[in-house]
Structures are given as structure tokens and as C-alpha cells.
Amino acid sequence: MKEDVFVIDGGESLNGRVQVCGAKNAVLPMLAASVLTPEPVTVRGCPQITDVADMTEVLRALGVRAERNGRDITVSGTPALTEIPAHLACAMRSSVFMLGALLAECGEVRLFTPGGCRIGARPLDIHFDGFSRLGARVEYGEDFVRCTAQKLHGAEILLKYPSVGATENLIMASVKAEGTTRLVGAAREPEIVSLVRLLRKMGADISGEGTPVVTVRGVDCLDGAAAVPVPDRIVAGTVMAAVAVCGGRVELSGADSSVMGAVISPFLGAHTFLVEHGGVMVFESDGMLAPTDVSTGPYPLFPTDMQAPFMACQCYASGMSTMRETVFEDRFSHVAELRKMGARIALAGNTAFVDGSGGMRGAELRAADLRGGAGLVVAALGAEGRSTVSGVRYIDRGYERIEEVFSSLGGKIARVTAVR
Ligand code: EPZ
């Protein structure tokens, strides 16, 4: 079986400019929202990554037109189907983001148990409890869930956890419901703000996005619109992690520092420098990192998607660091791989203790999920000697040709096709 593998020779400093494009986790719900109107909806600045391609396939499979023109994707038409194809639902978790929009538009949706990264059980109870509060009937089958609703009505919904996907699905489910919906305990991520900006341009009546209480007043119908997603703060943070490990200076063009406070702060210290002017963030590092104590959490806290890339930095820090993962219960698959490089990491519950005082050397590594894979690339770029990283298909889900990004900065990384 053939698969792409990265071959990385570590130790090069990274210098140059990177264009940060639209956030994967904004583009996906924005594309899902497009089925709320038959009129054309365009999402601009979409990255060329497999999760976006898969979401486009899901839309086509549902019977709507989805055309990519460069970095713009335009969706139009009304779904003919309300069942997310099993092979697509199991290939990517993002198909979950179709639930709310399909339920609102078609009064029914059937989803096979989704796949996606192996990061915990990733239940959907908050989504379905919310749909029930809006008047939907939710039936659980062996390996699918079916939601039906003649007409959704407004409700007060208390989210037991600020789930990003549930907040987005419940906003999309309620935009055309009868009456007013209040989501209390909503997630505050910038990607949700991007989704709401598009929905408002389509004619939705929403307030409070980016705060824990989002209010949606139902409207009769929505129109076509075009919108630009927030820049990808995780891609920008991953590039910063590589520069922190390797040393160098990078200009992140198009990054939005106003949504990156928690991403940036653990990087700041005596050995780094960050400045922003004219929409360009400049980050410099001498590669001598200080130990840090970091804990992930819902926005505006340090994002769980940066946990693995930043742990790679901690493997090079001069002393003991900690990384506490509070969002997902099983997101340390990259630790065993980092240990192959000589990383000294001890796990105790949801906390990793990372002793960066030993060296890191190249090794044969395997990515098991998207952000864990990105963390392995960051670690390999800074290690002594050659590494290979297999499971590149996971990394391609959320990073556009990551090897070209780091090669353009001077990193020695190449994509080869290996026969396994
Ligand atoms: C979104 O996933 C992102 N994906 C994830 O990014 C990100 O890690 C996550 O939010 C947290 O920020 C997209 O936006 C496409 P959650 P989502 O619902 O919505 C529990 C990446 O690498 N939970 O906020 O699935 C859940 O188990 C991906 O780009 C319930 O218990 O995440 C988890 O522990 C990975 N019941 C926590 O909440 C539910 O009904 C956060 O999950 C829903 C979630």
C-alpha cells in the first residue's frame, strides 16, 4: 500500500514569510450553513486541505452544487438527501457540522457514527439534547442517529460544556425556528464568530456571538451571501512552534493576533520577540526556550489544537514543563512518538511532565491524528539527524502542504511516497 511520508533533516533555522489562510474550523461550519438557503453562498480564502474537500463532497452527496474557484467555494441549491453518506461520515468528524443546518432546512437528518481523529469518545449528547429542546425527535440506531422535526421552535438551551460544534449546530438549527433561542454556556471561539458573520449576512438575526450567551431570533428565510473566515490561529501557532524550536524569524502574513492571545503568550520570553504591524505578525526566536506550564481550555484559553505542537516546543525547553489537557480525555497519542526521539515525558492523568533537558534525535515516527502529527513535524524539524513521519494523510486534513511551508522557510522536509 502506498502512503505519503515526510522525510525531515532537523537543525535548520527557519526564516521567511508565510501566508496564513482561512481557518479550517471556520470554513467547515460556514460551508454547512450554505444549505440554509438555495441561493449561492461563497466562502472565501478556503485552504486546500482534505477536510474542506471532504465537506465539499458531503454537500455534493446531499445534492447541492459546490464549486471551488481558487480559494473560493460557492454552494447553491437545496439538499435532495438528508442522510450523511456513511463513508464520508466515518471519514471525518466534520460531517457532524451538517446536523443543525440540515435539520433546519429539511426537517430531518440522519448521521452515521462519525469518524475523525481518535481523540476521546467525542460524544454528541449536547448537540442532540439541544435539538430536542428545539422540538426535534432524536432516534438512536445501532450505528446512526436520526433527527426529525416538523417545525423547530425557539428554546432556552443550557450547554453543560461550551462545545464548539454543538454551539455551531444549535445556532444553525435555530436561525429559522419559530421564536427566540438562547444558548447559555455557548462556546466563544473566533471560528463561531466567523460563522455568525456569514449567517448575519444571509439575513439571520443573531447576537452575543463570542460570549457565553448567544441569542438567535428565528427568521422566515435566508439569502445568499459571501464571507471571509477568520485566519487559522492553529496553523499560525504551529509555524511559531517550529520557529521557536529551530530558531529564526518568520512573518505571518494575514494572521489575526486579536484572536491569538492565548496561543502567543506561552511563546513569549527572554528568547523570543513578537511584533505586529499592518496585518503581519513577526515572530523571532533564538531557539533557546524556557520551560512553561500550560493548560488547554475553551476559548479564550490555550487551544487544545495547539497542545501537541506546543508540547514539541517543551521537549526543547531548558528544564521541566507541564502540559495539562482539559478538553479531550485522550489526546496524548504523540507522546509515545516523541519519546522515540529521546523526549523525557511522564504522564499523570491529563497532565504531561516534559523534561526538555535531554537532546532530541531523529526517529521513525507515525502520526495518529491531525494535530499530533503536526507536533511530530515540529519536533523533527528541531531534532539532530533524520526523521520520517508517516500518517501524513492526517496532517493533510488541516495543513495545506505543510512541507512546502517549512521548506520555503529553509527547513529540510520532503514528501515522498512510500510503499508499505
Ligand atoms: C471542534 O471540535 C474543533 N473541530 C476541534 O478541532 C477542536 O479541538 C474542538 O472544537 C475544541 O476546540 C472543528 O471545529 C471542525 P467540542 P468539536 O464539541 O466541536 C465534549 C482540529 O484538530 N463534548 O468543543 O468536536 C467532547 O467530548 C479539531 O482542528 C461532549 O461531551 O469539539 C470534548 O471533550 C480536533 N458532548 C469537549 O466537549 C458533546 O455533545 C470539546 O468538544 C460535544 C462535545
Residue nearest (by alpha carbon) to ligand 1 atom 21: 305
pLDDT in tens, 278-327: 889 999 999 989 999 999 999 999 999 999 999 999 999 999 999 999 99
Q: Tell me if 123 CB under 6 Å of ligand 1.
A: yes
Closest residue CA from atom 31 of ligand 1: 123
Contact 302, 296 (CB under 8 A): yes
- Ligand 1 pocket, residue 163 CB under 6 Å: yes
| Average pLDDT estimate for 27-52 | 97
Output the residue whose Cα is nearest ligand 1's atom 16: 163
Give, using CA atoms, the residue closest to atom 38 of ligand 1.
Answer: 163
Q: Is the CB of 28 under 6 A from ligand 1?
A: yes
When pLDDT is averaged across residues 85-95 and rounded to a whole number, the result is 71
- Model confidence at 118, pLDDT cuts 50, 70, 90, reads very low
Sign of CA dihedral 183, 187, 193, 195: negative
- Ligand 1 touching residue 308 (CB < 6 A): no
Give yes or no for residue 224 having a pLDDT over 80: yes
For the ranges 90-104, 113-127, 316-330, 395-409, the lowest mean pLDDT is seen at 113-127
- At residue 247, what are phi and psi to the nearest 5 degrees? 80, 150
* Strand 108-112 versus strand 83-84 pairing type: parallel
State the closest ligand 1 atom to the C-alpha of 165, by its place in the atom list counted from 1: 19
221 is catalytic: no
pLDDT band at 85 (very low <50, low <70, confident <90, very high): confident
Tell me which residue has its CA closest to atom 19 in ligand 1.
Answer: 165
Residue nearest to atom 1 of ligand 1 (CA): 164
Helix or strand run (H / E) with residue 377: helix 370-382
Nearest CA to ligand 1 atom 10: 164
Please work out whether the CB of residue 165 comes within 6 Å of at least one atom of ligand 1.
yes
Mapped onto helix, strand or coil, the DSSP state of residue 272 is strand
Q: What is the structure's pLDDT at 170?
A: 98
CA of 317 to the centre of ligand 1 (A): 29
Predicted pLDDT of residue 120: 44
Of the pLDDT bands very low, low, confident and very high (cuts 50, 70, 90), residue 90 is low
pLDDT in tens, 244-256: 999 999 999 999 9
**Does the beta carbon of 327 lie inside 6 Å of ligand 1?**
yes
For the entire predicted model, the pTM comes to 0.97
* pLDDT at 117 exceeding the cut of 50: no
For residues 394-420, average pLDDT: 95
Pick the atom of ligand 1 nearest to 234's CA: 29
Contact in structure between 149 and 136 (CB atoms under 8 Å): yes
Ligand 1 lined by 98 (C-beta under 6 Å): no
Q: What is the pairing mode between strands 320-324 and 293-295?
A: parallel
Q: Which of 117, 147, 313, 315 is catalytic?
A: 117
What share of the chain in percent tops pLDDT 90?
86
* Ligand 1 pocket member 304 (CB < 6 A): yes
C-alpha 224/C-alpha 202 separation (Å) is 6
> Is 21 touching ligand 1 by the criterion CB < 6 Å?
no
Question: Could you give phi then psi for residue 318, rounded to 5 degrees?
Answer: -85, 65
What is the band of 12 on the pLDDT scale with cuts at 50, 70, 90? very high
What is the whole-number distance in angstroms between the Cα of residue 412 and the centre of ligand 1?
33
How far does the centroid of ligand 1 lie from the alpha carbon of residue 52, in Å?
A: 17
- Note the pLDDT tens digit of each residue in 359-375: 999 999 999 999 999 99
Q: Is residue 114 predicted with pLDDT exceeding 70?
A: no
Query: Which pLDDT does position 116 carry in this prediction?
Result: 45
Digit-coded pLDDT (tens) for 264-288: 999 998 889 999 988 899 999 999 8
Calculate the average pLDDT of the chain: 94
In the 8-state DSSP scheme, what is residue 411? -
Q: Which atom of ligand 1 is nearest to the CA of 161?
A: 38
